[in-house]
Structure 1
Amino acid sequence: MREALNIDVLNRELNIVYKYLLKKGVPHIDAQDAVQETALKYIKLSDTIRSSKVRSWLIRVALNYHYDQCRKNKKYHFNLDEHSGEPESTETPEALVISKERARELSSILNQLKPFYAEILLLKYQSNFTYEEIAIILGISIGAVKINLYRARKKLLKCLEEARDDES
């Protein structure tokens, strides 16, 4: 009975990791691969993982696997297109086009940043994690999260300004 409960809990946690990867912009197939590899590692190492840290451990392992695969393929993808499915009735077609264009521009600029900076910005502003949660997920101190968020915002602002200067 306890094993079935652990499997249910693991499946629920892996679904959360999968949805997080998709929200982060990882392609569907890559997210599935990362979650599968993460599940295998969890099964092998489950005795050594504290139960209070399971979700952050799973997210970290899945992200590390994804980054390893990206390094092997020499590419990083951050897709911020949030408008999948039916458009909301309150938005005009022009507003949808503008928001998609802005998301595309932001995605392009995020790809110019260090992957760590892009990740920490997405964790904070897209996934709405707290400093404490980000620290657990990334395995760094809360102070390091704040410092790196500051640096990432500063670099993002610089890239945005450069992009606007290029358009002029």
Structure 2
Amino acid sequence: MSKEILFEKMNNELNIVYRYLLSKGVPHTDAEDAVQEAAYRYLRYVDSIKSPNVRNWLIRVSINYYYDQCRKNKKYIFNFDEKINEEESSDLPEMILLAKERIDEFNKLLLRLKPLYAELLLLKYQSNLSYAEISKVLGMSNSTIKNNLFRARKKFMKLYEEAYYEKGK
């Protein structure tokens, strides 16, 4: 395998890890740092890595690095804010505020779910990963992913309906 193909595959894996970290609420700069550290450690210890799935290893290393940095800096910031699109910035300020409120409501509902359910929803719908990719990342079978994702969607919709009808009354 040529070096170019190897670097391209590694870059794809690192992009997936980066998107995963962002979906977990890690700030942009911290996610970049964690992915860079994971890539460095991978290149440094590639001979001793026994994991058959490199992506799982990269995700674990980057998350551990991020948590270590949070502990060292004593900061615990999980920013679930979505970036406001440039198209929306030309809208009225009221529209931007409403979009921000919808995102906040969505994030509050996600926090009320089991961590696994929230993680599955973010991986599937925010990171746009397939069932196979999610099963590799989490180390679960495809059928388990599908079942838990079904339950996560069902629970999220129930929480959404409860919140929506409570506000409407």
The TM-score, its normalising length taken from structure 1, stands at 0.71
**Partner in structure 2 of residue 149 of structure 1:** 149
Aligned length: 165
SS state at 1:25 partner: coil
Larger relative contact order, structure 1 or 2 (CA cutoff 8 Å, min sep 6): 2
Q: Is the 8 A contact 1:78 1:111 kept in 2?
A: no
SS state at 1:87 partner: helix
In structure 2, what is the Cα distance between the partners aligned to 1:105 and 1:127?
19
In structure 1, what is the Cα distance between the partners aligned to 2:75 and 2:89?
40
Question: Partner letter of residue 127 of structure 1?
Answer: S
Moved more, 2-11 or 86-95: 2-11
**Partner in structure 2 of residue 87 of structure 1:** 87
**Partner in structure 1 of residue 54 of structure 2:** 54
Report deviation, 1:87: 3.5
**Partner in structure 2 of residue 107 of structure 1:** 107
Report deviation, 1:118: 1.0
Q: For residues 125 and 71 of structure 1, do their structure 2 counterparts lie closer, same or farther at Cα, with a shift above 3 Å needed?
A: farther
Q: Is the 8 A contact 1:132 1:142 kept in 2?
A: yes
Q: Is the 8 A contact 1:78 1:107 kept in 2?
A: no
CA RMSD of aligned residues (A): 3.6
Structure 2's unaligned 5+ residue stretches are none
Percent identity among equivalent residues? 50
**Partner in structure 1 of residue 116 of structure 2:** 116
**Partner in structure 2 of residue 163 of structure 1:** 163
Q: For residues 124 and 19 of structure 1, do their structure 2 counterparts lie closer, same or farther at Cα, with a shift above 3 Å needed?
A: closer
Q: How big is each residue's C-alpha offset from its partner over 1:129-158, in whole Å with a ceiling of 9 and x where there is no partner?
A: 111111111111001100110121122122
Question: Partner letter of residue 105 of structure 2?
Answer: E
In structure 1, what is the Cα distance between the partners aligned to 2:67 and 2:143?
24
**Partner in structure 1 of residue 140 of structure 2:** 140
Q: For residues 17 and 108 of structure 1, do their structure 2 counterparts lie closer, same or farther at Cα, with a shift above 3 Å needed?
A: same
The TM-score, its normalising length taken from structure 2, stands at 0.71
Structure 1's unaligned 5+ residue stretches are none
